[in-house]
Structure formats: structure tokens, C-alpha cells
Structure 1
Amino acid sequence: MTEIPAILLALLAFVLVIGPLVFLHEGGHYLAGRLFGVKAEEFSIGFGREVAGFTDKRGTRWRFSWIPLGGFVRFAGDMNPASEPTAEWLQLPAAEREKTFQAKKLWQRAIIVAAGPVTNFIIAILILGAFALIYGQNRTPTVAGTVVEGSPAATAGLQAGDRITALGGRSVDTFGDMARYTQLRPGERVTVAFERDGEARKVDAVIGTLVERDRFGNEYRIGQLGIGPGEPVLEKVGVLEAPWVGITTTASIMQSMVDGLGQIITGRRPVSEMAGPIRMAGISGQRLMMGPTEFVFLIALISINLGFINLLPIPVLDGGHLLLYAVEAVRRKPVEPQVVEWAFRGGLAAILALMLMVTVNDLGSYGVWKNLAGLIG
């Protein structure tokens, strides 16, 4: 495959992932708004100039825009980024004002705002639950089938047959739980709790670091203890159990995201590992080439990412709105408009700085800066 078709495939895959997920995220806001009688003035599928559109009987303008990367919903009364009432809102007739976002009770506004991220989580739960129903759930126990000679586990004194019960104080129920914990912590010291011949024991180990490259040239630092699984256990999942498996798997992935973010904030993991839209487009194209199962699983992962990121307590994001609503609930009065305005300016600046940083990371991962330096030199 030549370079140009590969780029086009990556762009197509990225649009197929991000576009529907952001659209469904906004659809969550829209449906919650309708539930509480809020009029949606505009629902844009895509960004930029309108290519085509129509106005439905409720007065909502449905726009199809030329940049197919998501969309947005604009409610009546939601007249500025901070969703603060304005003089224009106060001048509306009482009947029209009742249909606006700002006229609703605090808890109703909070549900409308939270509905977007919740929709992303529901999408992931449905996908992961369906996978469990089709393929079963890996319940391989935490018993060490093998211990690699010279590995961190062997150095710490672990032996084949030991049953690992906790890593770093966090209980592990399956071998998959162990793998997820160690893979995120290369080079870190961890306390391993285990059972040997019915006796509870603990040892300290330094998780090893394995640098791997996938078939597309992407490089990853992965933590490894050097423990191999025993006999694999794949359990069938019934229709009624599948949603719960989807929920627990989504929660486990979110826990890994929280761990990764905490490592970046504390400096244990470099910020260069944060991926932006360029690298995500490349990964989307790669997953699409690997087949529909891998691609759909990526959709679930990115959907969880979108929900998680949007719940961060940063003004401009949904989580920032919810934080302000929480403060309002505690104070029993809205946050002052000037405070909200400066908070949203700061949040916007932080988001733009983050986008710039991850874009620089993405370009660096493709060798742009190295090549540029070579040309200049």
C-alpha cells in the first residue's frame, strides 16, 4: 500500500470512528433536553459551513456540515459557552423562556450535560457486552503457570503455582487484571501479595520494561513481571450477564485511563506518550486494516475516552459545567458570571495548549521534527 492511500485510509477510518461517536454524544444531550422540554434550536452533523439541512416541526434546524467530525447541539437559552443567562434571555416571553436550557432546574441541567458522556459509556458497554456474548469472557486465574528465568518475578522469589492476590495493594481476580496493572507501570516498584501452599505472603518487585514495535512501526513501553498464565479459562456469557460484563470491562478500562493520567501528572510517564488526532487517525487506519473486530473494539475504547475526557472538571468540557453546578448546589446560588467567564477562558486556553502539545507529539512520532532538523542541518 502506497503512502497516499494509507493516509486516505487513516482519514476515512478516523471519520468513521470520531464522527458517529461525537454525533451520538451530542445526541445524548439532545434526547435529555427533549425529556425535560428544552427546545433544541440547532443540531449540526459535522462542523463548518452548512451543506444541506432542514427544520423539523419542533423548530430544530438539522444541519449537515462539510467537516464530518462530530457535531453539536445548541439549546434555546444556551447563548454563550458558559451557558449563563444573558440580557437577551431575560427579554424572552415567559412561554419561550420556559423552553430554554437556563429555565430548567439545576438537577435537570446537570442530567442534560451528563447525558453526553453517559451515552459514550453506554455505547462502549453495548459493544463490550456483545463481544463477551459472542466470544466469551477470559477468566484465566492469577496462578503463575510459568515464571521466566531472570525476570523481575523470579528475582523477587515468585514460583510457578503461586496465586497472585494483589499488586500494589489492588486486588486482582484474573490474569487479565494482572496484565493491565503491570503493562501500565514499567520500571515501577510494586508489592506483590500472593498465596503459596495456602500461606499468604508478600514480596517487592521492580516491574520490567519491554519496548515493543507493532507491525505498523509504533513503539510502546510495556511493563512485565515475567509471569506466564496457566491453563486459559474462557467462560461463556449469557444474554442477561453480557451487560454486566460490558459495565465491568468499561470500568476496568476507565481505571487504566485514570492510572495513566495520574502517571503523566506525577511525571512517571512522559507526556510524549499522549496521542492526539493525527496519531489516532493512524491507529484508526491500522485497526481498520486488522479487521472489523479490532476496529469495533477501537470504537469502544475511543468512546470510553471521549466520555472520560468530557467528564474532566475543566471549564468548557461537560465536566466543567457539572463542577460549576456542584458549586452552585453547595452555595445555593449560581457562580458569579465574571468568575465563570474567567474559568472558561482558562479552560479554553488549557484545552488549546493540550491540543498543541499532543499535535507536536503526533508529528514527532512520525519523524517530522527529526526530518526537519536533518533538512535544516
Structure 2
Amino acid sequence: DRKGYLGAELTKQQDTIRATWSAPIVGVVTTAQLTGATLQGLGDMVVNLATSLVQQFSSDSATSQQAKQNLSQVGNAVAGPVGIFAIIFPAAGQAGVVHVLLLTAIIALSLAVMNILPIPALDGGRWTVMAIFRLLRKPLSKQMEENIQAAGFLCLLGLIVLVTIADIGKLVH
């Protein structure tokens, strides 16, 4: 069972649902399954990253070497717009419009899941900061909120640059 670069691949298999009454149910169930798979993949990647970073400092050379391989796998599991386009474009003509639209929906759903993560500069980060200040019963000044969001935004921009550079590197090699 071979999967594509992002854990998914376009195939020619097509399951057509003819009963229109079941389409909303299938849509909700599929969305829930894809959301769960996205969260599971993200969780696995974070655990792998954290474990590998801790293992980097091991005095055992075999453990340290395994950590480097795991970090490389984490890097290969991430793709930005350049990497996604490079994956989708060659197969789009063969797969057909329906599959490209499905993959587009999967990407949109993944972005929605990422947006609710508690990372400053994203909606989930803003909600988290507001919740923390409410729990502490401290006022959150406009300036402090802007500083927190700006710091998060700069980190996200840095991550975008790194992922884009990695994507271009993967294309060149």
C-alpha cells in the first residue's frame, strides 16, 4: 500500500454516490474522518519531533543517529504551497477534476484544522491568549495582544520561509 508524498495520492478509482439524500451524511462523516486523520498526523509529527530533539542530546551514538533520521522524516512530511503544487500538478491531468477537487477540499480542511491550533497569529492562538488572560483575571491590553500576535506572525513567516526553501530543495534534488 503506497502513499504519496503527503500521505495521500490521486488514484483513478472513483466511487460515485447516486443517492442524493445520503450525500450530506457522507460529507459530514468524510469531513470528520479527514479531520481526525489530520489531527492524528499532526500529533504523530509533533511527538516524533519532540522525541527526536530530546534524543539528539543522547550520549549513545546509535540513539543520536536514529534521532537524526527521525528529524529528517519530520522534514519530509511537511510541504508548503510550492511542494503541494509540485505534487499535485503532474498527477492532476491523469486523476481528473473530481479527484483534484477532493484533494483541494482536503487541503482546505487541513488548513482549517491548523487555524484552530493554539499558535499566536492564528485564530486558535488568539482564543488561547484571551482564555489565559480571562483565567488569570488580568486585562489584556491592545498593545500586549498586538505584540503577542506579531511575535507569532513573525514565527509563522519564518516557518513559511523554511518550508518553502525545503520544498524548493526537494524539487531540485
> How far is the alpha carbon of 1:316 from its aligned partner?
1.2
Change (3 A) 1:312 1:266: farther
Give per-residue Cα distances to partners, 1:89-136, cap 9 Å, x unaligned: xxxxxxxxxxxxxxxxxxxxxxxxxxxxxxxxxxxxxxxxxxxxxxxx
Distance 2:146 2:6 in 1: 40
Higher-Rg structure is 1
Change (3 A) 1:242 1:266: same
Match of residue 49, structure 2, among 249, 252, 264: 264
What pairs with 1:17-36 in structure 2 (closer than 5 Å)?
Answer: none
Distance 2:42 2:3 in 1: 21
> How far is the alpha carbon of 1:292 from its aligned partner?
1.7
Give per-residue Cα distances to partners, 1:285-317, cap 9 Å, x unaligned: 234222123212211220122112211212211
Partner amino acid, structure 2, of 1:360: I
Distance 2:46 2:113 in 1: 11
- SS for the counterpart of 1:366 is helix
Give per-residue Cα distances to partners, 1:202-259, cap 9 Å, x unaligned: xxxxxxxxxx797xxxx689xxxxxxxxxxxx9x897174244224312332222332
What pairs with 1:110-259 in structure 2 (closer than 5 Å)?
Answer: 239=22, 241-254=25-38, 255-259=40-44
Match of residue 306, structure 1, among 111, 119, 134: 111
Structure-1 residue corresponding to 2:81: 277
Structure-1 residue corresponding to 2:144: 339
Match of residue 160, structure 2, among 351, 355, 359: 355
Structure 2 unaligned blocks of 5 or more: 8-14, 53-69
Change (3 A) 1:350 1:301: same
**1:318 and 2:102 are equivalent in the alignment:** no
Change (3 A) 1:328 1:306: same
Distance 1:350 1:251 in 2: 25
- Does the 8 Å contact 2:6/2:79 carry over to 1? no
Partner amino acid, structure 2, of 1:259: D
- Does the 8 Å contact 1:278/1:362 carry over to 2? yes
- Does the 8 Å contact 1:315/1:348 carry over to 2? yes
Runs of 4+ aligned residues of structure 1 deviating over 4 Å after TM superposition are none
> How far is the alpha carbon of 1:338 from its aligned partner?
4.3
- Does the 8 Å contact 1:312/1:320 carry over to 2? yes
Change (3 A) 1:265 1:303: farther
Structure 1 unaligned blocks of 5 or more: 1-178, 180-211, 222-233, 371-377
Distance 2:147 2:82 in 1: 30
- Does the 8 Å contact 1:315/1:346 carry over to 2? yes
Higher helix share: 2
- SS for the counterpart of 1:316 is coil
Change (3 A) 1:213 1:319: closer
How large is the Cα RMSD of the aligned pairs?
Answer: 3.2
- SS for the counterpart of 1:266 is helix
Change (3 A) 1:243 1:306: same
> How far is the alpha carbon of 1:358 from its aligned partner?
0.4
Distance 1:340 1:347 in 2: 11
- Does the 8 Å contact 1:276/1:362 carry over to 2? yes
- SS for the counterpart of 2:140 is coil
Q: How many residues align?
A: 141
